[in-house]
Amino acid sequence: MAKLRLKSKRELELMRNSCRLAAEILERSAELVKPGITTDEINTFVHDYTVRNGAYPSPLNYHGYPKSVCTSVNDCVTHGIPGPFIIKEGDIINIDVTCQLEGYHGDCSATYPVGIIAPSAQNLIDVARQCLAVGIAACAVPKARLSDIGLAIEDLADEHGYSVVRDYCGHGIGRQFHEDLLVLHYRQNRPGPLLEEGMIFTIEPMINEGGWKVKTLNDGWTVLTADGKLSAQFEHTIALTSNGPEILTKT
């Protein structure tokens, strides 16, 4: 991980551009989500759209990752690899888009229903979205600490009887895909560092219907819930400015 360095105004401008593009790619790729398509089709769309806009799909070849986007279906928590796999009515799918534009990365994800889904699955999606929202809101409190993010997120997940994945966290982002700043999405015993203007990082809670434990498949990437229950995730890249947290990954 690259060392934590606060970003300048100029870098914030560049991050706004890469993040806006990432959000646009995500929004457009979500329009493909319907029963009968393959995750490879999403990958092809994301790859081509990214390249056509003068950017590079950050996941491709990142530590050997083979594709341009992550597509995580149902009990897949994160890092699902697109393939000939067909999504079907009732599934939920997280699409995680990261692009590098003019040297800076933007990273965001969202979870979508495939056709009509069970109310319990929709509730998990709704709460996961709210978990990201309360994590961002925690950054708006004066003198907030990094650890306040996980506190707010786990409190909300608990209220709904869900659990928060502990093995993966948010991260600083900029010239590197993953930079210093570990954004834990769960409660910690010690207060973290104070949040400061110029920090840019992701918040990306993975919320499980069952327990928080996960397992990784032999492909070295695909992360599943250990109990086979559903997992949902939302991610934004956030900049801390003098006006509070700014969501960079929006269209």
Residue ranges in contact with Co ion by CB under 5 A: 96, 107, 109, 202, 235
Side-chain-facing half-sphere of 145: CA atoms under 13 Å: 10
- Separation between Cα atoms, residue 94 and residue 79, nearest integer Å: 10
d(CA 244, CA 234): 20
Of 41, 75, 96, 148, the one binding ligand MF3 (CB under 6 A) is 96
Return the one option of Co ion, ligand MF3, none that residue 65 interacts with (CB less than 5 to 8 A, by type): ligand MF3
235 belongs to the binding site for ligand MF3 (CB under 6 A): yes
Report the nearest approach of ligand MF3 to the CB of residue 65 (Å). Answer: 3
C-alpha to C-alpha distances, 244 to 85, 141, 214, 239, nearest whole angstrom: 41, 8, 34, 8
Output Rg (C-alpha) for the chain, integer angstroms.
17
Give the bridge partners for 201, in sequence order. 172, 238
Residue 195 Cβ vs Co ion, minimum distance, rounded to whole Å? 18
Residue 59 near ligand MF3 by CB under 6 A: yes
Choose the stretch contacting ligand MF3; rule: CB under 6 A; options: 7-15, 55-63, 112-120, 158-166: 55-63
Distance CA 77, CA 94 (A): 9
Binding mask 191-220 for ligand MF3 (x = CB under 6 A): -----------x-x----------------
169 lines the binding site for ligand MF3 (CB under 6 A): no
From the list ligand MF3, Co ion, none, partner contacted by residue 62 (C-beta under 5 to 8 A by kind): ligand MF3
Give the orientation angle of helix 119-138 with respect to helix 147-159, to 10 degrees: 150
Q: Which residue, judged by CB position, is nearest to ligand MF3 in the bound state?
A: 59
Q: Which of residues 65-84 bind ligand MF3 (CB under 6 A)?
A: 65, 70, 79
Residue 201: phi, psi to the nearest 5?
-155, 165
| Identity of the residue, 75 or 235, whose beta carbon is nearer to Co ion in the bound complex | 235
Residue 111: name the closest of 144, 82, 73, 145 by CA.
73
Q: Pick the piece of the chain touching ligand MF3 (CB under 6 A) from 30-38, 59-67, 119-127, 243-251.
A: 59-67
Cα separation, 35 vs 114, in Å, equals 6
Residues that bind ligand MF3 (CB under 6 A): 59, 62-63, 65, 70, 79, 96, 98, 107, 202, 204, 235
